[in-house]
Structure 1
Amino acid sequence: MTTDELPLRGRRFVVTGGARGIGAAVVRLALAQGADVAFGYHRSADQADALCDELHAAYPDRRCTALHGRVSDSTGAEKFAAAALDCLSGGLDVLVNNAGVNQDVVFARMRREQWDEVVDTNLGSMFNVTRPLVMPLTKGGKGTIINIASASGLHGAPGQTAYSASKSGIIGFTKALAKEVAGRAVTVNAVAPGFIHTDMTDMIPPPQACHLKTLIPTGEFGSADDVAALVCFLASDRARYITGQVIEISGGLVI
């Protein structure tokens, strides 16, 4: 293959929440484009093992390692970060912060533990993982951080106050950190998906899903592969001059 066909050749990726959905799509595409990947998971051991087996068979010359860890916990995240660096021979080029959960509930009925779970997982894990990995990212002469936000973080969504707040926090984090590390040749961007076919959207009742599609100009939900393509573009040299940006990928949900 030519260099253009393997735009991520030799890149070392860490992906949180990599066993399912968007995270798994990112892991697959990164390997396909030449990268080595260490990805994290918490509750999805069977899916993580199956993904590693699939990718080891497809790309025997590349590293793909699944690491168990609860990255919403600071100690667990530090252990995960250290293990990921070890798997990648001590170096790192790309960090994708994808770990996330949702608790859809009307705010007046929300319990504090629901709020804490969403914010700690979506926003707290990003801090927990990025802090020990940001300096290793600067040592290779260039590095990339890509944070998975949400269209809900840009525009809000009823029943998603905790989720929207956590994703808005990711956007603020992205813009601030991009300014801090730009001088060290590290880019930091956020991707904000709309309705994407994942386990989360599969729980939407069919009548509601049909209604939601009428609100999207393209008339359909996106795929995890759509998001992965954007993430891997941002991780490539083609995006070297893009930083501090939030790119919405939602089929035109809000224009």
Structure 2
Amino acid sequence: MLRLEGKNAVVTGAANGIGRASALRFASEGANLAILDLDSDGLEAVAEEARAKGAKGAKVLTIAGDCTAEAFITDSFGKIYQEFGFVDVLMNNVGQSARERASEFYNSKPEVWSFVLNVSLFSTLLASRQVVPSMREAGKGKIVNVASNAGLAGEVGISEYAAAKMGVIGFTRSLARELAPFKVNVNAVCPGVTKTRVIDRIPEDILEKIRVSIPLGFFAEPEDIAAAAAFLASDDARYMTGQSVVVDGGRWMI
């Protein structure tokens, strides 16, 4: 399918995992790509693969830097608009849990809260702010935010991450209502545990407890999440806005 043929798509956090898989899926659907990440080497590898998978003549622009830094984001979108003219699709994928600094809340630290909220929520607001004015004016556009089923399930030990991702869901709903009169769709995808580099940091006994709690009995591949993101980025989802699409093997059912 070429559901994004001729569209201009931006993916943040695109060097690895879900962001990488989504960028490659968007490329295979015909999109021009602008991909952002701190990992410059990873970005170039994704760009090379995207060019091989993409439509003939499709553009791939790589921009390396910190997606939580306002100056970087403002400058990056300036370059993107100069190259593409308009952003049809924004996928806000940047996000991170506390990882090795994770703890139950009574033992958590404010600097960790700030880090997680900045990466997992503020970055989404910051990038969205760059595209909303032009999407409103054009009367079209798709914003796909990556949330998580962590907020829905309320997992122990990741309270700041759950708060950030529920913040993404709340932002998605509010912005969807604001932009609906302008025919701009804003939706979220909520992955469960997915086979990215992060999974290597989780002890096997904890992974097994999570695995047995999943009705389908296995963890997602990044491509499973990318498939949902591509749907939300396409006109197949033109009558959906403000929704949180859970992709977690049935662990959380709405």
Task: Please give the TM-score of this superposition, normalised by the length of structure 1.
Answer: 0.94
Q: Does 1:12 align with 2:14?
A: no
Instruction: Tell me the equivalent position of 1:111.
Output: 109
Instruction: Tell me the equivalent position of 2:25.
Output: 29
Residues 12 and 93 in structure 1, CA contact (< 8 A), matched pair in contact too? yes
Instruction: Tell me the equivalent position of 2:175.
Output: 177
Which residue among 101, 122, 135 is the counterpart of 2:96? 101
Superposition pairs of residues 64-143 of structure 1, within 5 angstroms: 64-88=60-84, 90-103=85-98, 104-143=102-141
Cα distance in structure 1, aligned partners of 2:79 and 2:246: 32
* Partner AA of 2:79 in structure 1: A
Q: CA deviation at 1:84?
A: 2.2
* Partner AA of 1:63 in structure 2: K
Superposition pairs of residues 149-228 of structure 1, within 5 angstroms: 149-228=147-226
Q: Which runs of 4+ in 1 moved over 6 A?
A: none
Q: CA deviation at 1:170?
A: 0.5
Q: CA deviation at 1:126?
A: 0.9
Cα distance in structure 1, aligned partners of 2:151 and 2:74: 26
Cα distance in structure 1, aligned partners of 2:25 and 2:74: 26
Cα distance in structure 2, aligned partners of 1:235 and 1:251: 21
* Partner AA of 1:135 in structure 2: P
Cα distance in structure 2, aligned partners of 1:117 and 1:73: 12
Residues 188 and 243 in structure 1, CA contact (< 8 A), matched pair in contact too? yes
* Partner AA of 1:187 in structure 2: N
Gaps of 5+ in 1: none
Cα distance in structure 1, aligned partners of 2:195 and 2:145: 19
* Partner AA of 2:51 in structure 1: H
Cα distance in structure 2, aligned partners of 1:224 and 1:208: 20
> Cα deviation per residue 1:91-145 (whole Å; 9 max; x = unaligned)?
1101100101110222122222111110011111111111121112234432110
Residues 172 and 242 in structure 2, CA contact (< 8 A), matched pair in contact too? yes
Q: Does 1:245 align with 2:232?
A: no
Instruction: Tell me the equivalent position of 1:52.
Output: 47
> Cα deviation per residue 1:159-206 (whole Å; 9 max; x = unaligned)?
101100000100110000000011111000011111111111222122
Structure 2 SS opposite 1:138: helix
Residues 175 and 189 in structure 1, CA contact (< 8 A), matched pair in contact too? yes
Moved more, 200-209 or 142-151: 200-209
> Cα deviation per residue 1:44-102 (whole Å; 9 max; x = unaligned)?
121111111222234352111111121212222211222222232x2110110010111
Percent identity, please: 36
Residues 24 and 49 in structure 2, CA contact (< 8 A), matched pair in contact too? no
Structure 1 SS opposite 2:167: helix
Residues 91 and 136 in structure 1, CA contact (< 8 A), matched pair in contact too? yes
Cα distance in structure 2, aligned partners of 1:192 and 1:216: 15
* Partner AA of 1:146 in structure 2: V
Structure 2 SS opposite 1:13: strand
Cα distance in structure 2, aligned partners of 1:68 and 1:162: 26
Residues 92 and 140 in structure 1, CA contact (< 8 A), matched pair in contact too? no
Q: CA deviation at 1:211?
A: 2.1
- Tell me the C-alpha RMSD between the 2 structures: 1.3
